[in-house]
Amino acid sequence: MARDRQNSDEFVRPIRRLLIGGLALALIGLFLLWRIDSPRVERLRAALVDRVVPSFDWAMAPFTRLADMVDAAQSYASLYEQNQELRRELQQMRAWREAALQLEQKNARLLDLNNVRLDPQLTYVTGVVMADVGSPFRQSVLLNVGSRDGIRDGWATMDGLGLVGRISGVGEATSRVILLTDSNSRIPVTIQPSGQRALLAGDNSAAPPVEFLENPDLVRPGDRVVSSGDGGMFPADLLVGQVAQGADGRLRVRLAADYERLDFLRVLRSRPVPRIEDPGGLVAPPAPFDRPVPVPVPEPEVAAEPAEAGDG
């Protein structure tokens, strides 16, 4: 018995060491591959999430529902106060709604008078948040719409009110949304009354700071922050939130979207804006030295030239 044990130890130990070494090498290889060729490994990641998370879905639904019910039960305690408050708010909202309707009509009339062309209406796909796939240092959620619904990387995502984040990583039936609070999120924004351009840089806190602000004196807490559409990735004028001054004196943005309860999210289909790349051709008949080969039939050319000259 004792010899058996020694023998097996002698055999097992080197094999074991080999196994550990092999595993470590494979992991290092995976990390290096990710660092060198990130998109390929990210696709693998999207495929894995696509496979794993939907299979959890049936089990997650009751838990999520239960947590919602507990939340709801807690709010029953203060039902009366809430009801009163809601009534007051509703009264105020009615007044605002009236004002908004009037302004909308006025706006439409003025636009019509000026013959302004605005961006075509954005269309959107709505998805349900399936899972919270962030770690303590990464903020992201998973939606149940993916490439089969036509979702692409980089599209903007909103809840009912404000911007939530940007699609990053699309699987067949799932897609990942990097939230604005993630430390990798950088969104070009405009701060509304003053029109200052800035960058909203997530830093893992609930209120991301505003960076690269040209003139901070023109910005007050309470100003509206909307996306600016710079860089062509996001549509312009999506509501992001309000400026607030943090305890450290930095200007931060209190986000309009309700991050505590992300449920249904809209993914905005943004079509690539046609870019103007070349400086534009010269509006003139082509110069003769442009053609290396002499044109064999000169007659139509001669006929066309006076006509164009007549136009100009």
Residue 289 is a binding residue for another protein (CB under 8 A): no
**Is there a contact between 157 and 166 (Cβ–Cβ < 8 Å)?**
yes
The one segment of 119-127, 128-136, 212-220, 299-307 that binds another protein by CB under 8 A: 128-136
Whether the CB-CB separation of 180 and 240 falls below 8 Å is answered with yes
Alpha-carbon separation of residue 33 from 30, 168, 176, 196 (angstroms): 5, 19, 21, 41
Q: Is 18 in the site for another protein (CB under 8 A)?
A: no
Nearer to another protein, 170 or 219 (CB): 170
Return the range that interacts with another protein (CB under 8 A); candidates 102-110, 253-261, 286-294, 301-309: 253-261
Binders of another protein among residues 43 to 82 (CB under 8 A) are: 44-45, 48-49, 52-53, 56, 59-60, 63-64, 67
Q: What is the distance between the alpha carbons of residues 90 and 87, in angstroms, rounded to a whole number?
A: 5
Question: What is the sign of the dihedral through the CA atoms of 96, 98, 102 and 105?
Answer: positive
What is the bridge-based pairing of β-strands 239-245 and 123-132? unpaired
Report 258-277 residues binding another protein (CB under 8 A): 259-262
Contact call for residue 144 and another protein (CB under 8 A):
no
Residue 170 interacts with another protein (CB under 8 A): yes or no:
no
> Under a CB-based contact definition with an 8 Å cutoff, are residues 131 and 53 in contact?
yes
Name which of 20 and 101 has its Cβ closer to another protein: 20
| One of 138, 186, 250, 254 touching another protein (CB under 8 A) | 138
CA-based R_g, the chain, Å: 29
Candidates 127, 139, 157, 241: give the one binding another protein (CB under 8 A). Answer: 139
